[in-house]
């Protein structure tokens, strides 16, 4: 097979969920939808209900020790994950959870470089802790707020991963400049018209001087990061040994 006709194997997304009909959902449109059609990734939703017990295929039970809500049973969650692993092969498993480590651009990049991932989507108050221990699962959080289930978290994580897959986005180079890649948020963007409601595009961007444009963008990115995300800014400063961000006025006078 020649290099040009070599087709890369599809990145495999496996989702274990009580709502398999939700998938691919929003990921079936636009960029990720086209990538699904062209075979850059494949989406398989596995019905958790199929592993339930009794006439109603129950998957949850009341929490030991009392309290509100229901808990996904360890035996049922484990049966579903084991069967999915048998079908999917050795892929990383993510358990969306508000207790997890925050999902980051770095994680999205690492996962996109692999062969796929299994998302164990949970509802209710959570899942029996013994299931998490027995499978040594990585809990991953979308942020400090509570969703009603892991599915929406899986959509967000998958979206971040899929756009990084080879050939999915037009220009791979643009990834290098995006927010978070460098611990910096992105600089402001402008497009035509040149003047809108009395607001002009900054002169430097229409100057044609690529060095000046790059410097201006870098300075704005630093300024915005320092103002909005002290956590990222501290990390950027530590890595790059830089001081306070440059303001637009500093550059004009300096």
- Residue ranges binding ligand SAH (CB under 6 A): 96-99, 122-123, 125-126, 141-143, 145-147, 149-150, 153
CB 94 within 8 A of CB 160: no
Q: Which residue, 84 or 97, has its beta carbon nearer to ligand SAH?
A: 97
Q: Which residue, 24 or 126, has its beta carbon nearer to ligand SAH?
A: 126
Q: Which residue, 78 or 141, has its beta carbon nearer to ligand SAH?
A: 141
Give the DSSP letter string of 34-51: HHHHHTSEEEEEEEGGGG
Q: Which residue, 60 or 223, has its beta carbon nearer to ligand SAH?
A: 60
* Min CB(99)–ligand SAH separation in Å: 5
Q: Which residue, 35 or 140, has its beta carbon nearer to ligand SAH?
A: 140
Give the DSSP letter string of 104-121: -HHHHHHHHTSSEEEEE-
CB 147 within 8 A of CB 124: no
Distance CA 84, CA 24 (A): 17
Distance CA 204, CA 211 (A): 10
* Min CB(147)–ligand SAH separation in Å: 4
Q: Which residue, 145 or 203, has its beta carbon nearer to ligand SAH?
A: 145
* Min CB(121)–ligand SAH separation in Å: 6
Beta strands in the chain (DSSP E): 11-17, 41-47, 60-61, 71-72, 93-102, 116-120, 126-127, 138-141, 195-196, 199-200
* Min CB(106)–ligand SAH separation in Å: 17
Distance CA 33, CA 168 (A): 10
* Min CB(72)–ligand SAH separation in Å: 8
* Min CB(126)–ligand SAH separation in Å: 5
Residue 132 three-state SS: helix
């Amino acid at each position: 097979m020649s290099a040009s006709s070599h087709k890369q194997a599809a990145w495999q997304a496996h989702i274990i969920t009580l709502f398999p009909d939700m998938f691919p959902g929003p990921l079936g449109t636009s960029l990720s939808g086209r990538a699904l059609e062209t075979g850059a990734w494949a989406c398989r939703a596995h019905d958790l209900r199929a592993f339930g017990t009794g006439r109603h295929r129950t998957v949850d039970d009341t929490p030991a020790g009392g309290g509100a809500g229901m808990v996904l049973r360890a035996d049922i969650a484990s049966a579903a994950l084991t069967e999915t692993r048998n079908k999917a092969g050795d892929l990383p498993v993510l358990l969306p959870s508000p207790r997890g480590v925050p999902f980051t651009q770095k994680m999205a990049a690492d996962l996109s470089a692999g062969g796929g991932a299994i998302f164990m989507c949970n509802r209710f108050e959570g899942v029996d802790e013994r299931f998490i221990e027995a499978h040594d699962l990585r809990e991953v959080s979308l942020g400090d707020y509570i969703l009603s289930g892991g599915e929406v978290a899986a959509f967000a994580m998958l979206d971040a991963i899929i756009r990084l897959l080879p050939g999915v986005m037009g220009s791979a180079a643009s990834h290098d400049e995006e927010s978070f890649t460098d611990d910096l948020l992105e600089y402001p963007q402008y497009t035509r018209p040149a003047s809108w409601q009395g607001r002009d595009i900054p002169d430097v961007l229409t100057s044609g001087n690529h060095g000046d444009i790059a410097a201006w963008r870098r300075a704005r990115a630093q300024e915005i990061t320092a103002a909005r995300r002290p956590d990222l800014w501290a990390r950027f400063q530590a890595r790059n040994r830089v001081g306070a961000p440059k303001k637009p006025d500093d550059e004009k006078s300096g």
